Amino acid sequence: MRRVLPLLFTAALAAALAFGQQSRAPRPAPEAAVRGVLAAQTAAWNRGDIPGFMQGYWKSPLTQFIGSSGVTLGWTTVRDRYLKNYPDAAARGQLTFSDLTMTVLSPDAVYVLGRFDLRRAHDQPHGVFTLLFRRFPEGWKIVSDHSTGTP
């Protein structure tokens, strides 16, 4: 019995470790996951899909958008702002993000600094932004967006 107990313990420990490794799905690095969200947002914007673009934002009344007109709070309010200010393809133009710099603040938070450019028929608005992303069970989401146009 003395020989059997250590073997059973070792077998149980090995099984538990193996199960633990299998139950944890590998997660992409935070930077890669955040880049994926930004790429999906760009694609949605450029096909005129504001609801798809908004999938990158945390669906919460605490979501923040800070711009030239002040602070907008709440996912619904941010969405409504985008729908009002960019009602059609001419207003939306083609969006690109560039010069992305990411700082991982924790395993569940990433700070992003970057540039945005809109190509439209009669102008080309551009500017800079900072985004605060958090990881939620449903994925990485923007909780705060501060976007400012530049001359």
Q: Please state the rounded mean pLDDT for residues 14-22.
A: 43
Asked if 79 and 50 count as a contact pair (C-beta separation under 8 A), the reply is yes
Residue-level pLDDT at 112: 98
Consecutive H or E run containing 127: strand 126-136
Asked whether residue 14 is domain-assigned, the answer is no
Kindly state the greatest CA–CA separation across the chain.
85
Q: What share of the chain is helix, strand, coil (3-state, %, to 5)?
A: 40, 35, 25
Here the CATH number for the domain that contains residue 98 is: 3.10.450.50
Global pTM value: 0.81
Alpha-carbon dihedral 51, 53, 59, 62, rounded to 10 degrees: -120
pLDDT band of 85, cuts 50, 70, 90: very high
Asked whether residue 1 is domain-assigned, the answer is no
Asked whether residue 3 is domain-assigned, the answer is no
In this predicted structure, the answer to whether residue 136 has a pLDDT above a threshold of 80 is: yes
Residues of the domain holding 83: 30-149
Structural domain count, the chain: 1
Asked whether residue 11 is domain-assigned, the answer is no
Closest among 124, 122, 141 to 133, alpha carbons compared: 141
Residue-level pLDDT at 24: 56
Asked whether residue 10 is domain-assigned, the answer is no
Burial of residue 58 (CB within 10 Å: 0-12, 13-18, 19+) is: buried
Residue-level pLDDT at 21: 43
In this predicted structure, the answer to whether residue 23 has a pLDDT above a threshold of 80 is: no
Asked whether residue 44 is domain-assigned, the answer is yes
Encode pLDDT of 26-71 as tens digits.
Answer: 667 999 999 999 999 999 999 999 999 999 999 999 999 999 999 9
